[in-house]
Amino acid sequence: MRFTEAAPPAPTPSYALSTPSVRDAWAGWLGARPWDLFVTLTSDHKTHPEALHKRFRYCTHKLGDELYGRSQTRRCNPIEYVNGIERHKSGWPHSHALLRFPGVDLADRTQFSVEHWQKVMTDTGGWCWLSRPRDQGDTVSYVTKYVTKEGDLVLSPNLSPVIDRAPPLLCTMH
């Protein structure tokens, strides 16, 4: 009778080890801030994900001009956002984003109308849904899934783990 040694199991690729940790780190860092608005944005035609993000940025600039005044937004748009972008199986891009409006009370309809901005953003060329996050943790987790998928996670210029270290963006390897 002949005995052979079983082949050792194939090593786990390094990306498989780090992926959940990376997502958890992003979710922890982004979850430490209160988000005011959850946005779903689609395109009305097949386009590149960068074009969808450009449309999203256009909308945030319009929001900033309306909420803070053009003189403020020309220097720096105070709106913070994280935008997760991916392609549907059909190839059409869509995104989910979180926005924060410092100093704006979204419950005050004289300052912000979800219905108005949903229509304005939809009229830019696609479909848009705006809602107030019911659960901050679930919402952040949903947006950060793009870190581990074949999508992109784009931060606003005024939101950076390098600049804003509270809390620190920590990633551990398993």
The CATH number that applies at residue 56 is 3.30.70
Examine residue 2 and state whether it is found in any structural domain, yes or no: no
DSSP 3-state of 1? coil
Examine residue 122 and state whether it is found in any structural domain, yes or no: yes
Give the model's pLDDT for residue 93. 87
Examine residue 164 and state whether it is found in any structural domain, yes or no: no
> 114 lies in which domain range?
19-155
pLDDT tens series, the chain, 174 aa: 444 444 444 444 434 434 557 778 888 888 888 899 999 999 888 888 899 999 999 999 999 999 988 887 777 778 999 998 988 778 788 999 999 998 888 889 888 999 999 999 999 988 999 999 888 888 888 888 776 677 788 888 888 776 655 544 443 433
> If 0-12 CB within 10 Å is exposed, 13-18 middle and 19+ buried, where does residue 139 land?
buried
Examine residue 138 and state whether it is found in any structural domain, yes or no: yes
Cα–Cα distance for residue pair 146/9, rounded to 1 Å: 29
Examine residue 12 and state whether it is found in any structural domain, yes or no: no
Examine residue 133 and state whether it is found in any structural domain, yes or no: yes
Examine residue 146 and state whether it is found in any structural domain, yes or no: yes
Examine residue 165 and state whether it is found in any structural domain, yes or no: no
* pTM of the predicted model as reported, rounded to 2 decimal places: 0.77
Give the model's pLDDT for residue 97. 93
What is the count of structural domains for the chain?
Answer: 1
Q: Quote the DSSP letter at residue 98.
A: E
98 touches 160 (CB < 8 A): no
